[in-house]
Amino acid sequence: MGRYIIKRLLWMIPVVLGIAVLIFTIMYICPGDPAASILGIGATQVEIAAKRSELGLDQPYIVQLLKYLKQVFIDFDLGTSYFYGTPVIDGIFSRMKYTLIITFTCMGLQILIGTPLGIIAATHRNGIADRLCMLVALIGVSVPGFWLALMLVVLFSVNLGWLPAYGVGGIQYFIMPCIANCLAGIATQARQTRSSMLEVIRSDYITTARAKGMSERDILFKHALPNALIPIITIVGNGMGMMLGGAVVIENVFSIPGIGSYMTGAINSRDYPIVMGGVLVLGLLFSLIMLLVDIIYAFVDPRIKARYEGKRKGAKRHG
Amino acid sequence: MGNQTKTVEERTRKESNFRQILHRLQKNKIAMTGLFTIIILIVVAIFAPILMPYDYTEMDMSNMYAKPSLSHFFGCDDLGRDIFSRLLYGARASLSMGIIATLLSTAIGVVIGSAVGYYGGWIDNVVMRVLDIVQAIPGMLLAIAISAALGSGFFNTIMALSIGGIPMTVRLLRGSILSIRNQEYIEAAEKINCSKPRVILKHILPNSIAPLIVSVTMGIGNTILTAASLSYIGLGIQPPMPEWGAMLSAGKTVITRYPHLCVFPGLCIMIVVLAFNMLGDGLRDALDPKLKN
């Protein structure tokens, strides 16, 4: 087990480096000239060329890449915003709070609401509860979150006047953004939980448990659920990615000053360091969560441990 | 040689298998509703120039923010343009982007996936680790980053949308190849000197096509959703081209007074995505009858 976790932790290093390389490469092939963007309209060719060499943009790709990696991982510097002229990392950290509140609330709701719905649907297979849950879930995965957000604003802010339409403050400011963002997550969770449960319910050991007269309740909680839980944990991790991506768009709807609106604001002013910095930080956050998911996975599923040990023996035999 | 000796029996069995799947799909009302909706939407997108009552760029200042009425079914936008016509024309952008981007990423994914799945070895290891890194960035964020770097426009957006989808297809195909590559018929094909590309194309691919069809169908819906989000935050397809997400973005500023500018484009996105998901669910059940009973 310890070996598995260490291996998984070490694997984080190339992933994190890889994300940075990927982001840098995307930025590198970007057609705009950062030097011209910083100086603005009216700069002469000479000034732009001077700025380019000052920023090191005239150096080969690999030199620039190594410099970027050093800048990100050793100096913790994500570059400077063209538009504001302030370090991107400060901008991201001062706004991170709101994005995290929305993402983690949505993740919580996804687990707490989606999982039971999926279990109810699976245990009442083809009944009214199942059909209703799955119909709602099907619609849930198809609704664009940002549109749902707009419709909630029309209903609850404009017509009923119950909730504030934009900005941040008390808990009432986060109700609509979280509902709009987590609906797709809840729906996905319910659908996947249901199919995972159905898969387990079909297995022989459930039939055996029924045959020996175990109560349905015990079968559900002692046999079916623990085994169905494993794929469900993976979905929670993937759901986090969905919630992060969704939060970026939803923040824009409600003018919440999180990383998302920082990034989308930067898109319109062609302020690429902010966009890339935001993607990098959120990508790192996501891989951290996935790491956590994998470790939880190893604790919940004894087969992982067995497989890991078996694999080592197997590798020896083949090698 | 392997294929010439295919018996008549084998062929009829294969056909009836296909017919069984089709039959199961036809019985599924939800899936057929989805399929029907998709066909209607594609027809609408193709014939949009004929079907739309007004030109989608035609401005009419006397009808600014007009409410839905008989002359303008869904009302007019901030420039007095007919929303119904713009929605019809916008179906072109959404559907074509969703379909092309998904097919592109699937095609690339299939090539990479079948190669690494079949050959294995260090190539497999390297490719899978690279894909791990691509997948470490949430899909929506990757699309934002690529789209921001490449700039807006139809083909740039397709690029941005398809790259994020590649790892999933590769994993899917690789997984199904790993599960069948040790079966007897693959061994038999290899033993009678079938070339490797032939084994992949003629024996392995047809046997791993089922999950692929489902993932393409669902993928189109998801891609349309992502494309709409991109245009909404100012990337992807940009005005004056009518695109549903961009229309929502334009309508958002006046939503408190004229909500009809936002209601209809969102409904369109939802209906398209819902249709693809309904068909995808039905296909999955039809292709995997075990799940049904």
C-alpha closest to that of A73 among A23, A7, A37, A9:
A23
Tell me: the pLDDT tens digits for B264-290?
889 999 999 999 999 998 888 888 765
User: Is B248 within 8 Å of A150 when comparing Cβ atoms?
Assistant: yes
The pTM score is: 0.85
Taking contacts as CB-CB distances below 8 angstroms, the residues of chain B near A194 are none
pLDDT of B248 strictly over 50:
yes
In the DSSP assignment, the letter for residue B203 is I
Optimal mutation site among A12, A147, A176, A236, interface B, most CBs of chain B within 10 A: A147
> Which of residues 238 through 297 in chain A touch B, CB cutoff 8 A?
241-242, 244-246, 248-249, 252-253, 263-264, 267-268, 272, 275-276, 278-279, 282-283, 286-287, 290
Using left for φ > 0, alpha for ψ between -120 and 50, and beta otherwise, residue A56 falls in left
pLDDT at B252: 82
Nearest CA-CA distance, residue A286 and chain B, Å: 7
Taking contacts as CB-CB distances below 8 angstroms, the residues of chain A near B165 are none
pLDDT at A317: 41
Q: Cβ atoms within 10 A of the Cβ of A177, count?
A: 27
Tell me: the pLDDT tens digits for B164-190?
889 988 988 888 888 887 788 888 888
User: Is B138 within 8 Å of A241 when comparing Cβ atoms?
Assistant: yes
pLDDT of A318 strictly over 60:
no
pLDDT of A54 strictly over 80:
no
Cα separation, A291 vs A285, in Å, equals: 10
User: Is A282 within 8 Å of B139 when comparing Cβ atoms?
Assistant: no
pLDDT at A315: 44
Residue B126 near chain A (CB below 8 Å) = no
Evaluate whether B40 touches B271 at the Cβ level (below 8 Å).
no
Shortest CA distance from B276: residue in chain A: A142
pLDDT of B10 strictly over 70:
no
Q: How many CA atoms lie within 13 A of B23 on its CB side?
A: 7
pLDDT at B2: 46
Evaluate whether B95 touches B119 at the Cβ level (below 8 Å).
no
Range B234-238, long-range pairs (CB < 8 A, 24+ positions):
B234/A264, B234/A267, B234/A268, B235/A267, B235/B144, B235/B147, B235/B148, B235/B152, B235/B157, B235/B160, B236/B147, B236/B152, B236/B157, B236/B160, B237/B93, B237/B97, B237/B152, B237/B153, B237/B154, B237/B157, B238/B152, B238/B153
Who among B235, B252, B277 is closest to A150 (CB)? Answer: B252
Tell me: the pLDDT tens digits for A241-274?
888 888 888 888 888 888 888 888 887 777 778 8
pLDDT of B110 strictly over 60:
yes
User: Is A283 within 8 Å of B137 when comparing Cβ atoms?
Assistant: yes
Buried b (16+ CB within 10 A) or exposed e, A197-233: bbbbbeeeebeebeeeeeeeeebbeebbbebbbebbb
Q: How many CB pairs under 8 A join A and B?
A: 145
> Which of residues 220 through 259 in chain B touch A, CB cutoff 8 A?
221, 225, 228-229, 232-235, 245, 248, 252, 255-256, 259
Taking contacts as CB-CB distances below 8 angstroms, the residues of chain B near A279 are 137, 141-142, 144-145
Evaluate whether A251 touches A95 at the Cβ level (below 8 Å).
no
Q: What is the ipTM of this complex?
A: 0.83
Tell me: the pLDDT tens digits for A171-223?
888 888 898 889 999 999 998 888 888 888 888 888 888 888 888 888 888 88
Taking contacts as CB-CB distances below 8 angstroms, the residues of chain A near B263 are 151
Tell me: the pLDDT tens digits for B138-150?
888 888 888 888 8
Evaluate whether A92 touches A258 at the Cβ level (below 8 Å).
no
Q: Cβ atoms within 10 A of the Cβ of A116, count?
A: 14
The secondary structure of B117-174 as a DSSP string is HHH-HHHHHHHHHHHHHHHTS-HHHHHHHHHHHH-SSHHHHHHHHHHTTHHHHHHHHH
Residue A144 near chain B (CB below 8 Å) = yes
Nearest CA-CA distance, residue A241 and chain B, Å: 5
pLDDT of B192 strictly over 80:
yes
Mean pLDDT of chain A: 82
pLDDT of A52 strictly over 80:
no
Evaluate whether A41 touches B156 at the Cβ level (below 8 Å).
no
| Rounded mean pLDDT, A118-130 | 87
> Which of residues 42 through 101 in chain A touch B, CB cutoff 8 A?
none
Cα Rg of chain B (Å, integer): 23
Residue A203 near chain B (CB below 8 Å) = no
In the DSSP assignment, the letter for residue B197 is H
Structure tokens at B267: 């409904």
Tell me: the pLDDT tens digits for A71-116?
888 888 887 777 787 888 888 888 888 898 889 899 999 999 999 9
SS3 content of chain A, % helix, strand, coil (to 5): 80, 0, 20
Ramachandran angles phi, psi of A77, nearest 5°:
-125, 125
Is the bond leading into A226 cis (omega within 30 degrees of zero)?
A: no
- Alpha carbon of residue A82 to chain centroid: 27
In the DSSP assignment, the letter for residue B290 is G
Residue B79 near chain A (CB below 8 Å) = no
Cα separation, B92 vs B154, in Å, equals: 11
